């Protein structure tokens, strides 16, 4: 009997002149912490920067995802990336980001502040399936073992190389 394999999600490059930023959040109720994962890649899929950050556990997973968006935008600004595609797997958060009006949800202020507080020329937001967000997801899960913030320039943690490579197969 054949075991069904999950549908592959092919990695797609950002448009010319853009970088691609994937974000994700995770919660660890057992240790009362949450975490953020961000990876920035160029049009060839090369990692330009990545981060794992542990934060205090927030009231909802949507707030954690909103914090991951904000961290992604601030991280890109810190590295002087002003044109980027932002991808995440939270439909609610991506819909709120695409909406021209500020969300009245508890996370709306976080998103509105992040979108307007940096000198960014162009941002596009895309919803992707969880399988297409595996590097950011694993960076968020890795933050369970990180005190505060850990940044890798032009790299990801060594144990995530395989995850990064499988995105391109």
Q: pLDDT truncated to tens, each residue of the chain (169 aa)?
A: 444 445 556 778 999 999 999 999 999 999 999 999 999 999 999 999 999 999 988 778 899 999 999 999 999 999 999 899 999 999 999 999 888 887 888 888 888 888 887 777 768 888 888 777 899 999 999 999 988 899 999 999 888 888 888 776 5
- Residue 168 has a pLDDT of 63
- Residue 131 has a pLDDT of 74
- Residue 6 has a pLDDT of 53
Domain assignment present for residue 88? The answer is yes
Its pTM surpasses 0.85: yes
Specify which residues 124 forms β-bridges with.
85
Domain assignment present for residue 3? The answer is no
Helix, coil or strand: residue 70: helix
Q: How far is the C-alpha of 108 from the C-alpha of 59, rounded, in Å?
A: 14
- Look at the block and give the residue holding tokens 């075991």: 3
Q: How far is the C-alpha of 86 from the C-alpha of 49, rounded, in Å?
A: 14
- Residue 66 has a pLDDT of 93
Q: How far is the C-alpha of 165 from the C-alpha of 55, rounded, in Å?
A: 28
Domain assignment present for residue 2? The answer is no
- The burial of 30, by beta-carbon neighbours within 10 Å (0-12 exposed, 13-18 middle, 19 or more buried), is given as exposed
- Residue 8 has a pLDDT of 56
- Residue 124 has a pLDDT of 85
Domain assignment present for residue 10? The answer is no
Domain assignment present for residue 145? The answer is yes
- Residue 166 has a pLDDT of 78
Looking at residue 37, which CATH number applies to its domain?
3.30.420.10
CB 46 within 8 A of CB 169: no
- Residue 7 has a pLDDT of 57
Number of domains in the chain: 1
Q: 33 lies in which domain range?
A: 19-166
Specify which residues 88 forms β-bridges with.
127
Domain assignment present for residue 74? The answer is yes
């Amino acid at each position: 009997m054949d075991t069904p394999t999950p549908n592959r999600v092919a990695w797609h490059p950002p448009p010319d002149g853009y970088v691609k930023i994937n974000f994700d959040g995770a919660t660890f109720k057992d240790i009362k912490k949450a975490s953020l994962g961000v990876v920035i890649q160029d049009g060839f899929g090369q990692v330009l920067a990545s981060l794992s950050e542990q934060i205090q556990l927030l009231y909802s997973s949507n707030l954690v995802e909103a914090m991951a968006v904000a961290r992604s935008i601030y991280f890109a600004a810190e590295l002087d990336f002003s044109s980027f595609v932002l991808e995440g797997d939270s439909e609610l958060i991506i819909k709120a980001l695409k909406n021209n009006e500020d969300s009245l949800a508890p996370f709306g202020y976080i998103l509105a502040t992040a979108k307007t507080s940096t000198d960014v020329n162009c941002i596009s937001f895309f919803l992707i399936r969880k399988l297409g967000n595996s590097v950011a997801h694993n960076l968020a899960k890795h933050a369970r073992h990180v005190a505060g913030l850990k940044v890798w320039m032009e790299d990801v943690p060594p144990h995530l190389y395989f995850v990064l490579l499988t995105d391109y197969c």
